[in-house]
Amino acid sequence: MKLDTRAMRHLAAEDWRVLTAVEMGSKNHEIVPTPLIEKLARLRGGVSGVHRSISALAKVGLIARVKEAKYDGYRLTYGGLDYLALHTHASRKDVYSVGNRIGVGKESDIMVVADHSGKQCVLKIHRLGRISFRTVKSNRDYLKNRNAQSWMYLSRLAAMKEYAFMNALHEEGFPVPTPLAQSRHTIVMSLVDAFPLRQISEVPDPASLYADLISLILRLASHGLIHGDYNEFNILVKEIKSTAEDGTESIVLEPVIIDFPQMVSMEHVNAEMYFDRDVNCIKRFFLRRFHFTPSQPGPFFKDAKKTVGKGGLKRLDATVEASGFTKKMLKDLEAAIKDKKTDKEGQEGANEDDDDDYDEDSDEDSEEEEGEEEEGDDEDEGEGRQEALLSGGLSEGLLSGEPAIDKANSEMAKLAV
């Protein structure tokens, strides 16, 4: 689904309370009973006020009534979860306005946003289950234990895990985007001026870039971590101008790592498999794209394992666990990722198992794909530098009620609190 923020400025405080009440009720109910919504919202206007808000929220697709349910109730949609996350970011002043979508992944949307100073950042919205919902007719067994609420829960876990690892890596000086904020299934991070590795057709020195990427794998391992999805889709390459002593200028390529929901510890039961897969992904890409083959074999997991924590290096796997991302959360998320990969292998073939490429977004709501009848539910991949993808510009304010200001033919809304 696409993020449409146009209705945000029109929601009253009572509407937000009711939407939050539906979210709270969703922790224990797939369909939240209407009486429970009334109880949790606690509006001064009483039951009639709650029903007015329910009608307003359903009209714009933030909640939905499921027909033929055993009782009268509503469920939270991904659109409703998006609005709650954006409302939190706006309240914390992390996000002031939302602009263009710059990427559509199999399980995430990437948006450009701006803070109150006008600085552009990236909003990543996790949407686990999207591909599975689209192929629901052939995946009934796969989805039998997954409902919309469980996918939202797993999307939250993916965002929490990614944010925790990004924080830990950033503090240790790894080349990653700067993590700025996290709410529910969303993360706000710095915008990196770089090319995705998959878009680069040639480099002046493949051996040097290859060495840098392998060094990052080994550096992660020494801190107790394996990326788990280390490929051309999750590596950006920055161009850094360098000036030699004689005044000669040259361009140095610097890799930046992104996408961390599948990162695992070097102590993981399948750590060797994940480590070898990351190494082989890079080798295969460099052979296919740059016709480059390293002169030395490896690196090997057994050698990398010996470097974990050596010399007093900080164990980042332990740091993330201490941050509050529990073992149960990790187990739940890993189980979903494992199921998703098993399904993907059957659908797409082994060569695309772990590609987090950006496909043209289908406008079909994943929840409609589930086959439920509901009331109230009334791009291409980016090319070139990420900043070039922002040529549409930003539009003003989502939440103020002020008219949007057109900049470079792009409408952008300001988030009202």
Instruction: Give the residue numbers annotated as catalytic, written as ranges.
Output: 229
Ranges of H-type helices in 228-326: 271-290, 301-305, 316-322
**N-to-C CA span, the chain:** 24
Residue 148: both structure tokens together: 């919309």
Distance in angstroms (rounded) separating the CA atoms of residues 357 and 103: 9
Give how far the C-alpha of residue 247 lies from the chain's centroid of Cα atoms, to the nearest Å.
42
Element (H, E) at 126: strand 120-126
Q: For residue 120, give the nearest of 172, 192, 57 by alpha carbon.
A: 192
Phi then psi dihedrals of residue 67, to 5 deg: -65, 150
Phi-psi sector, 43: left (phi>0), alpha (psi -120 to 50), beta:
beta
Among all chains, which residue has been given the structure tokens 């029903």? 51
Question: Do the beta carbons of residue 129 and residue 146 sit within 8 Å?
Answer: yes
Hey, what amino acid is at 225? L
Buried b vs exposed e over 109-138: b needs ≥16 C-beta within 10 Å? bbbbbbbeeeebbbbbbbbbbbbbbeeeee
Alpha-carbon distances of 61 from 181, 187, 297, 377, rounded to whole Å: 26, 23, 54, 5
Distance in angstroms (rounded) separating the CA atoms of residues 22 and 40: 8
